[in-house]
């Protein structure tokens, strides 16, 4: 939590709604603690731990592209 709170780089938090290994509430707490530019995406379709991409491929790619376009420079 302390390291996320001190982060200065943009952070995209991605979490599966069905994750039983790391509770979704933990992702929300990290997101709230973060003071740098941030976004939180909770992947649906019952995505469990590390299944966000596999279960939500199109939305995952769109979310990452949108975040990168918003927060990462071309330099």
pLDDT mean values, one per 10 residues, the chain (75 residues): 95 96 95 97 95 97 97 75
The reported pLDDT for the residue numbered 29 is 97
The reported pLDDT for the residue numbered 73 is 75
The reported pLDDT for the residue numbered 14 is 97
* DSSP code per residue over 11-49: EEEEEETT-SSS-HHHHHHHHHH--SSEEEEEE-TT--T
pTM of the predicted protein model: 0.90
The residue among 73, 62, 56 whose CA lies nearest residue 39 is 62
The reported pLDDT for the residue numbered 75 is 54
């Amino acid at each position: 939590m302390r390291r996320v709170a001190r982060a200065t780089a943009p952070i995209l938090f991605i979490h599966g709604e069905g994750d039983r290994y790391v509770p979704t509430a933990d992702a929300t707490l990290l997101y709230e603690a973060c003071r740098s530019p941030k976004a939180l995406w909770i992947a649906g379709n019952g995505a469990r731990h590390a299944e966000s991409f596999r279960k939500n491929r199109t939305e995952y790619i769109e979310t990452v592209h949108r975040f990168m376009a918003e927060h990462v420079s071309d330099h």
